[in-house]
């Protein structure tokens, strides 16, 4: 018997190590791959883009917020992996009626490590999970801190939306030494205007590649209107919790923001 409490307080009991897994969370899908679960994962979302070949090899059960329950039923999963923010409460509760569901709820790096550890235990991959966590922790030691820079991290356009302080993105910015230009904890993704950004006057504006795919044309317009140095950044590096974090230190060096 495997017994664990997930990150929203739900108790999960399994009689055997799961052999048919459906993942509803792109970053955790990548983590399952890195744990070596090549055949056990049978279903993923259309947004689960890593590893790339799984989009052909695995059943696609819809998006993160428009799950096709009939497709999941056909897969007969013995574990579903979800996330409180990425998936809807209604979908998670409906799935829990028929299947064991592990739901993560991640705002901090420590909570990401806890999720990784939990799944390692549920999936009988404790050694692999511990090795990945240790590799990430070791890589973080080499991060050069940008302590003199404030950042406005844009995730959306029309309206412009910033990543606030109660987000995993905030944790990755803090890890890097950046200070989020937002000081309030009230809104996780507040709306702003370009005039707001100009008045806030951060050292840098980051344009994330996801969920809105900011491009060079957006950078040019925003930089022109705000007169603030603006940088396109890979959103996966700042917002994907799990094994993707092992690449963060190298990515930060490549950005070369001095």
Give the three-class secondary structure for 163.
Answer: coil
Mean pLDDT for the chain overall: 96
Phi, then psi, of 38 in degrees rounded to 5: -70, -40
**What is the rounded average pLDDT of the residues 71-99?**
97
Q: How far apart are CA 105 and CA 35, in angstroms?
A: 20
Q: How far apart are CA 163 and CA 193, in angstroms?
A: 14
pLDDT of residue 74: 98
- Domains in the chain (CATH in brackets) are 2-139 (3.40.50.1980), 150-255 (3.40.50.1980)
Give the three-class secondary structure for 59.
Answer: strand
Tens-place pLDDT, residues 237-252 = 999 999 999 999 999 9
**What is the rounded average pLDDT of the residues 138-159?**
94
Return the closest-CA partner of residue 112 out of 244, 228, 23.
244
Tens-place pLDDT, residues 13-23 = 999 999 999 99
pLDDT of residue 257: 85
pLDDT of residue 93: 96
Q: Which range, 96-110, 139-153, 184-198, is most confident?
A: 96-110
* pLDDT confidence band for 104 (50 / 70 / 90): very high
Per-residue tokens: 77: 């999963």
Is residue 196 within 8 A of residue 188, CB to CB? The reply is no
pLDDT for residue 144 is more than 90: no
Per-residue tokens: 8: 């929203």
> 69-97: string of b/e by CB count within 10 Å (b at 16+)?
eeebeebebbbbbbbeebbbeebbeebee
pLDDT for residue 106 is more than 80: yes
Q: How far apart are CA 41 and CA 189, in angstroms?
A: 32
Return the closest-CA partner of residue 206 out of 220, 196, 219.
219
Percent of the chain residues past pLDDT 70, beyond the cut: 100
* pLDDT confidence band for 80 (50 / 70 / 90): very high
**What is the rounded average pLDDT of the residues 101-120?**
98
**Signed CA dihedral, 26, 30, 35, 38: sign only:** positive
Is residue 48 within 8 A of residue 145, CB to CB? The reply is no
Q: Which residues is 44 bridged to in the sheet?
A: 60
Is residue 108 within 8 A of residue 131, CB to CB? The reply is no
Give the three-class secondary structure for 101.
Answer: strand
User: In 126-176, at which residue ranges do the beta strands (DSSP E only) sit?
Assistant: 150-156, 160-162
Instruction: List C-alpha distances in Å: 94 to 11, 72, 193, 221.
Output: 16, 12, 38, 44
* pLDDT confidence band for 183 (50 / 70 / 90): confident
* pLDDT confidence band for 256 (50 / 70 / 90): confident
Query: Running DSSP on this structure, what letter comes out for residue 252?
Result: H
Tens-place pLDDT, residues 33-78 = 999 999 999 999 999 999 999 999 999 999 999 999 999 999 999 9
């Amino acid at each position: 018997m495997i017994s664990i409490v997930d990150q929203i307080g739900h108790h999960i009991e399994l009689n055997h190590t799961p052999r048919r897994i459906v993942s509803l969370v792109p970053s955790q899908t990548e983590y399952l791959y890195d744990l070596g679960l090549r055949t056990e994962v049978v279903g993923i979302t259309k947004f689960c883009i890593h590893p790339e070949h799984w989009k052909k090899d695995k059943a696609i059960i819809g998006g993160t917020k428009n799950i096709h329950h009939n497709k999941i039923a056909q897969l007969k999963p013995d574990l579903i992996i979800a996330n409180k923010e990425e998936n809807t409460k209604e979908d998670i509760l409906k799935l829990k009626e028929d299947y064991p569901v592990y739901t993560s709820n991640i705002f901090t790096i420590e909570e990401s490590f806890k999720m990784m550890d939990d799944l390692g235990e549920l999936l009988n991959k404790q050694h692999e999970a511990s090795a990945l966590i240790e590799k990430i922790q070791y890589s973080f030691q080499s991060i050069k801190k940008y302590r003199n820079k404030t950042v406005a991290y844009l995730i959306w356009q029309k309206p412009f939306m910033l990543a606030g302080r109660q987000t995993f993105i905030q944790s990755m910015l803090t890890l890097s030494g950046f200070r989020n230009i937002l000081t309030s904890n009230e809104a996780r993704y507040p709306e702003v205007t370009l005039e707001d950004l100009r008045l806030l006057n951060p050292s840098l504006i980051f344009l994330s590649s996801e969920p809105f795919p900011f491009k060079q044309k957006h950078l040019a317009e925003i930089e022109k209107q705000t007169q603030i140095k603006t940088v396109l950044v890979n959103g996966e590096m700042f917002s994907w919790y799990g094994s993707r974090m092992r690449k963060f230190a190298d990515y930060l060096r490549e950005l070369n923001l001095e």
